[in-house]
Amino acid sequence: MRGYLRPDGRYGVRNYVLVLSSVGCANHVADRIARGFPGVVSLRNAKGCGQLGASAQMMSRCLVNLSQNPNVFGTVVVGLGCETTKPHGLAKRMRDLSEKPVYDITIQEEGGSSAAIERGRALVRKLVAQAADAAQTPMGLGDLVLGTNCGGSDATSGIAANPTIGVVSDAVVRSGGTVLLGETTELIGTEHILARRAATPRVRDDILRLVGTLEHDLVASGADVRGANPSPGNMRGGLSTLEEKALGGISKGGTTNVQQVIEYGARPTHPGLVIMDTPGYDIESVSGMVAGGAQVVVFSSGRGTPTGCALAPVIKVTGNDETYSSMRENIDFDASGVITQGRSVREEGRRLLELLERVCSGEQTASERLGFDDFSLYHNMELWCTCAFS
């Protein structure tokens, strides 16, 4: 594998210049700044203002950490100038964390949208020229933070696709890398299994508190999680209960011990298998993992989904041969041989690992070829638990 060595010693598998909107009011200007530049990604922010407490803290954490993702060479923060997530403060925190180049502008200080666009494009042009000098150097599996996710699951996901991803997760962890397992709603019913795999008593307590708090908050609000999980598509695909879905879902994380539980969009401080508190909605879950440092995501889907990500390649895996046939332009890897051809999960895992290595070295995924740049940070704290983890 070959990646881009960053000043903090981490490796990117892509070499992007990031134009990051600090607030929804600046989205259009950020898009205009990035438009037409190859290798420049604009991330739209649905919120960034009118947030309080844990919601505001989470938004700021995610915005700062997005700039720190190893796939980012440098960042231009674009703000309005009066928002809760203060753009100049965000940029200062970004610069304090690494030596990556970071610039920040506000529409109000520049004197309006057109002036901000002109100033922002000049800064992006400068960063693009600098990024062009970055060279790929050898990297290993141990340099990865691998995100895992599943969406549009069916019965084949837990039988073939997710266990195949689990083989790759084990390989990354055993090489010294990090694997993120999320979608907290889809851990319900399996928390006791994950707790038994906790590396320490404190991590065990964090797992049980994470899932227990979510269940308690859902019940207290009068919400029934079964109204959304399993989804109608999950049920048509043969999944009967949330517990059944969860049993298949956690197999994405492989078989190693859980080393840490972290908040949404936080960066892991320990290698190995890490649980991140993400929602079950795929785009928000993946975006949180990318904020946490995932350079690449492996994503299973039994029924098929086109979801990609603006900052990280997303490798789509299905265990359903019919889905692979009907949605081949969206799917990167067919693991259905576990069911239809008698292949072992380990054999399919080795093939998927080879694809992961090629993607990390530059091979485009289906979502990248199609130009899918999905991104959305979670911001609804009313029904979501925010626990303090060790």
pLDDT tens digits for range 158-191: 999 999 999 999 999 999 999 999 999 999 999 9
The pLDDT of residue 383: 41
The pLDDT of residue 228: 62
Which residues in the chain come in under a pLDDT of 70? 223-230, 235, 237, 239, 380-390
- Report the alpha-carbon distance of residue 136 to residue 139 in Å, rounded: 9
The pLDDT of residue 385: 46
The pLDDT of residue 386: 46
Q: From 181, 166, 145, 150, select the one nearest 282 (Cα to Cα).
A: 150
Please, which contacts does 232-238 make with residues 24 or more away whose CB atoms are closer than 8 Å? Answer: 233/152, 233/154, 233/303, 234/152, 234/153, 234/154, 236/154, 236/303, 237/152, 237/153, 237/154, 237/155, 237/156, 237/157, 237/302, 237/303, 237/320, 238/154, 238/155
Q: Does the predicted TM-score (pTM) go above 0.75?
A: yes
Q: Are 303 and 368 in contact (CB under 8 A)?
A: no
The pLDDT of residue 235: 66
The pLDDT of residue 239: 67
- Report the alpha-carbon distance of residue 157 to residue 249 in Å, rounded: 8
